[in-house]
Structure 1
Amino acid sequence: MSTAGLLTTTDDDLLRRFTESANTHDRVVVPTPAFHEWFAERQAANSYQVTQVPFGELAGWRFQPDSGNLVHDSGRFFAVEGLSVHTDHSEHAHWTQPIIRQPETGILGILVKEFNGVLHCLMQAKMEPGNVNLTQLSPTLQATRSNYTRVHKGKPIPYLEYFTAPWRGRVLVDVLQSEQGAWFLHKRNRNMVIEVTDDIPVLEDFCWLTLAQLHELLHVDNLVNMDSRTVLSGIPFAAPVDRPSILDEDSFRGALLRSLAERKGALHELPSVLSWFTEAKTKHTLDQQRIPLNRVDGWRATDKHISHDEGRYFSVIGVDVQASNREVAHWTQPMLAPVGRGLLAFLAKRIGGVLHVLVQARTQAGTFDVIEMAPTVHCTPENYEGAEQPRYLRHVLDAPPGAIKHDVVHSEEGGRFHHAENRYVVAEVGDDFPVEVPPDFIWMTARQATNLVRYSNYFNVEARSLLTGLHTLW
């Protein structure tokens, strides 16, 4: 196999260039105020309408007569099926639920190019029907296999040729990563970062931004979409060399920079972290059986939605979509609509002057391999009203304002989930919080997390979004 265009090692120069981009607010192609003007113009330039409709009005979709599964006539895109779950690693030992099955692998890719000596990312103002505000900042390429092979018979996907072999650039990041395990069965996408040196046309819905600008925009609610956040999480950084005074500070930022920089100072060496993860996967069980959608227990179906009997978790609905600048101008589809806003949080603690985040081993209905690393708190609080709350939830909800270092609301994948929002939080705990934690949790440094997120099936998508947020704080 030819290795032309492939990055075989993460060299120090690449780490330096990514880190420099994350620190550069000048020498930019598009100043941040001009970006906001451009983004508003792109929103105004296009017309969108998303309307909830009965299932009977979904063109090209049908319930199979025997199973009740909701499928597309082409046999492509995705299907809503039933899933029976047995596990010894959840609040419930057994349950059934609807789940999205989308066996094909999509591509989420960002093109990067150097301008004025600084790496910039080519980002897209993209409409998705499930976004609360419709248009958000997406990667250069965000497409399922059905879309980029044009099953919909629509317009071709821009820049696709840069993300398929033979490579037209240098591959900097290329990894299969999971998506929401509570709602997808074994769903993975290819996360890619490709560096180009040639001049490429910049279409009207695209613009170049540095990583520093993206980190700034990640503090804005519902602006940088999930697909961008997961790709950005795979970008490796080094501690900035121009901040030696901060490295020595007795501050959160100083502890975070030491966490990113130091090979020493971790509470657990990386082999011990990997052993903890492997032990959790081999110790626990997860049995997933696909079942007909009409055999799920505790769910009821009407002509407009499939919902849980207690009004919890999520519903399956149908939507009619009109979008002037998408590959297809009009379509209909099912979507999963969560009930309530989720809470995803890392508790962070300085241990020996080095910041550590508390990572959880978590099993979900559609998890690919029993367990993934997840945020300390990973729940929708409304689902626990009148029930025992998840461990450490009160530490986040009751944290004093000064302990909250990162707090933003982000949307989840707007192509499948309708108005799915999560609150992403990094909360620092004090010396009184114990270093010893239950077996399902472990302390990790930012450097350890950054190293592991470059490989498949370690961190779930929610944790990857939080790691991206953590990098905005140094």
Structure 2
Amino acid sequence: MAANMSAAMLAAGGSVPDDHAAGVAASRSSAFALHSDGFVDRWITAAREKCSLSNMQVPLEAVQGWHREAATGNIHHDSGRFFSVMGVHVRHRVGHHQLEWDQPIIEQPEVGILGILAKYIEGTLHFCLQAKEEPGNVGGVQLSPTVQATYSNYTRAHGGAKPLFIELFIEPDPARRLFARLQTEDGGRFLYKSNRNMIILAGDEVPVELPEGFIWLTLRQIASLIRRDNLVNACTRSILACLVGAGNTGQRDAAAGREGLRDALQWLDDRRAMTHMLTRRIGLNDLREWRLDEKGYFSHVSSSFFRIVGLKVSSQTREVGAWGQPIIENPAPGIIGLLLREGPDGPELLMQAKAEAGNRSTVQLGPTAQFTQGNYEGNAKLEKPFLFEEFAAPGPFPLVHESRQAEEGARFYREYNLHRILMLPEKTELALPPDYRWLTMQQVLVLVHLGEQVNSCARSIISCLL
């Protein structure tokens, strides 16, 4: 059934319903917008000036409302809700090569909602984004989806107010769904975590005049904002990846498209069959190379990778005025890279079959490059990934796009990744390892639409192609 649905989507031109594909394409190119670009800039500046959220790092034992289990060392909220931090031991084998490690990981066994409302305003499709504060945000306020809420949040486990517009996403009218798929979160630091990415068409119940902190933007405006550093948040980028290329024409004949998609799906399945990964839950106390450091944070003995720190947070604009939480802090930004080339049917993307310990399906479609330099340089245990040097210091491949894009600020503290898109020069041959394959934009969009096939890093950098 999935193969038939994929073929139909490929022939139709992407993941957006036919009757709205033209609206998406027009929103990407139309000069009309409800708000001028100058107004949008002033609105963002004002939202950042009003930012009331403040936080302070504290030892994990001082985080209000959370505790460490004596027997395991695992970190839980006193209510048993929200999320936990625990340990995992991982054994990863591909062919005759095997790697073992252990690490902390976030477990949050509930599906959240990441939803964007869309609305035709004077015939042009607009999208509702929110100026949202998160404790780990770079810049305080970033542009988030209309709704960004875990199950614990929108069922009010924190005792605070219900998120605005949440009722439009819980059981939406199928006729109003432009996109609705489960998508995985960061499989390197979340264990089996998925959120529902959604774009829902709003009717008259949502007026053009929005509550304070929300704004209607066209895709053209959003694409421009994504090109700025650390402004459009990770959840928004994750959702909007489904709209890249939607509504474009020029796809080759349907039979050839189906054949190419069939080959791509077979390659991805073959890589999954070749990859064996056993992820076993253990206590933080049982991790071999991790410990509480002198500041009361949970760190790797080498000070590499990441650490778990405590936060004390207060805000005048959030559903709850004050809270404490653990959060992941990375010592250095990573690099997420995408290599493009011109193919017979338009741009092609070099994607990798990326294995991550926290993915249910183990292997998902990842970007060309996904690494943190410091974790590999001088580390005899880890082999540098394919095209490491090319993306660490671009030279032979022309630079198409570069920006700093922040990670999700509710779980990651002031973390961003450098997003680099490079172009393979014409007539350049590139010998590919088995885990890498050139895919058309159309094929990638189909996999995005299937849900839980394209990882969060890939969706993030694909959104830069809006």
RMSD of equivalent CA atoms:
2.3
CA separation in 2, counterparts of 1:92 and 1:301? 28
What is the match of residue 248 of structure 1? none
Contact 1:266 1:444 in 2 (8 A): no
Contact 2:397 2:425 in 1 (8 A): no
Query: Sequence identity, in percent?
Result: 35
In structure 1, list runs of 5 or more residues that go unmatched.
Answer: 1-6, 242-257
Query: What's the CA shift string for 1:144-173, capped at 9, x where partnerless?
Result: 010110000011110001101253971111
Find 2:234's aligned residue among 202, 215, 226.
226
Quickly say closer, same or farther: Cα 1:171–1:354, change in 2 above 3 A.
closer
TM-score, L = length of structure 2: 0.91
CA separation in 1, counterparts of 2:465 and 2:337? 11
Look up the equivalent residue of 1:329 and give its one-letter code: G
Name the SS for the 1:297 alignment partner: coil
Contact 1:169 1:197 in 2 (8 A): no
What is the match of residue 324 of structure 2? 332
What is the match of residue 211 of structure 1? 219
CA separation in 2, counterparts of 1:83 and 1:366? 10
CA separation in 2, counterparts of 1:142 and 1:18? 22
Contact 1:234 1:453 in 2 (8 A): yes
Query: What's the CA shift string for 1:405-461, capped at 9, x where partnerless?
Result: 111100011100111110111100113532541110000011111121111221100
1:271 aligns with 2:277: no
What is the match of residue 127 of structure 2? 121
Look up the equivalent residue of 1:209 and give its one-letter code: L
Name the SS for the 1:220 alignment partner: coil
What is the match of residue 4 of structure 1? none
Find 1:288's aligned residue among 265, 276, 279.
279
CA separation in 2, counterparts of 1:294 and 1:109? 37
1:184 aligns with 2:190: yes
Find 1:449's aligned residue among 444, 448, 465.
444
Query: What's the CA shift string for 1:218-251, capped at 9, x where partnerless?
Result: 100000000000111123644557xxxxxxxxxx
Look up the equivalent residue of 1:274 and give its one-letter code: L
Quickly say closer, same or farther: Cα 1:267–1:428, change in 2 above 3 A.
farther
What is the match of residue 48 of structure 2? 43
Look up the equivalent residue of 2:90 and give its one-letter code: V
Quickly say closer, same or farther: Cα 1:231–1:10, change in 2 above 3 A.
closer
* Number of equivalenced pairs: 446
Find 1:355's aligned residue among 347, 365, 377.
347
Name the SS for the 2:224 alignment partner: helix
Contact 2:180 2:197 in 1 (8 A): yes
CA separation in 1, counterparts of 2:223 and 2:101? 39
Report the alpha carbon displacement of residue 339 of structure 1 after superposing the two structures with TM.
2.1
Report the alpha carbon displacement of residue 64 of structure 1 after superposing the two structures with TM.
0.7
Report the alpha carbon displacement of residue 266 of structure 1 after superposing the two structures with TM.
7.3
Name the SS for the 1:272 alignment partner: helix
Question: Which is worse superposed, 42-51 or 113-122?
Answer: 42-51
What is the match of residue 81 of structure 1? 86
Look up the equivalent residue of 1:84 and give its one-letter code: H
Report the alpha carbon displacement of residue 53 of structure 1 after superposing the two structures with TM.
0.9
TM-score, L = length of structure 1: 0.89
What is the match of residue 254 of structure 1? none
Contact 1:174 1:192 in 2 (8 A): yes
Pairs within 5 Å for 1:296-335: 296-302=287-293, 304-335=296-327
Name the SS for the 1:386 alignment partner: coil
